[in-house]
Amino acid sequence: MKISLITATYNNAATIVDCLESVNTQTVKPFEHIIIDGQSTDGTLEILANYKHLKVLSEPDKGIYDALNKGIRLANGDIIGFMHADDFYANNQVLAWVNQTFEQAQCDAVYGDLQYVQANNIKKIVRNWKAGEYKQKKIKWGWMPPHPTLFVKKSVYEKFGNFDLSYTIAADYELMMRFLWKHNISLVYIPKLFINMRTGGKSNRWLNIYLKMKEDYRAIRSHHIGGLKVLIFKNLRKIEQFF
């Protein structure tokens, strides 16, 4: 199956090479790697120009979710995955695992594990997110797969929609809730480490924690999953990732 990778960039010159090289060293190559750039001014575009195989669109956008939606619309593959500009694959077999699982399981989506590393020392692990097996009822207890590890068939987006831009920081959570809870897509866990994520992303900054929780709660309520209990358990689940 053909995998389309989408990366949103904006002034990511310091990290984009690690991201791109981790894709280029995969034993199974993506069908295409789409870069949606928000008109970077720090040299990101010049770096991207050195990678001739990339499909690059640079224009103003309304934030990362708008950029990712543009990438989804441009994608020509069967499967869509997101590789954030500050992240990099933890293993050169990730896309091979993804492709094999889709071929064998005939599922709508797959996901794996993720670990957080220090932005200035990528060998230093901060959190280790072992997602575990999927059961829909676990969503009521605050469970969700790590979104950066999620690969979904494009047909799912075509049926059930893209990121909801009324969310500024939790549109990925709402989208997964919509796919998994409302539409009950089939999801398979690959118990392997997919992604190294540098700390310091938009939803990891202290000033954004309140907004993130507010939007998470809105998504929980809008999909009739529950209330405050779901939000509390969602955040409590993070504690074990530090040990």
Query: Tell me, what's the pLDDT at 103?
Result: 96
Query: Tell me, what's the pLDDT at 210?
Result: 84
- Mark the ranges of the chain whose per-residue pLDDT is less than 50: 203
Measure Cα distances from 232 to 117, 123, 201, 226 in Å: 25, 31, 21, 11
Query: Tell me, what's the pLDDT at 235?
Result: 86
The reported pTM is: 0.94
Query: Tell me, what's the pLDDT at 49?
Result: 98
Name beta bridge partners: 118: 121
Q: How many domains does the chain have?
A: 1
Query: Tell me, what's the pLDDT at 32?
Result: 98
Query: Tell me, what's the pLDDT at 242?
Result: 83
Query: Tell me, what's the pLDDT at 108?
Result: 99
**What's the CATH number where 30 sits?**
3.90.550.10
Query: Tell me, what's the pLDDT at 201?
Result: 52
Q: Which residue from 119, 36, 118 is spatially nearest to 44, judged by alpha carbons?
A: 36
Return the HEC string of the chain. Answer: CCEEEEEEECCCCCCHHHHHHHHHCCCCCCCEEEEEECCCCCCHHHHHCCCCCCEEEECCCCCHHHHHHHHHHHCCCCEEEECCCCEEECCCCHHHHHHHHHHHHCCCEEEEEEEEEECCEEEEEEEEECCCCCCHHHHHHCCCCCHHHCEEEHHHHHHHCCCCCCCCCCHHHHHHHHHHHHCCCCEEEEEEEEEEEECCCHHHCHHHHHHHHHHHHHHHHHCCCCCHHHHHHHHHCCHHHHC
Which range of residues forms the domain containing residue 236?
Answer: 3-242
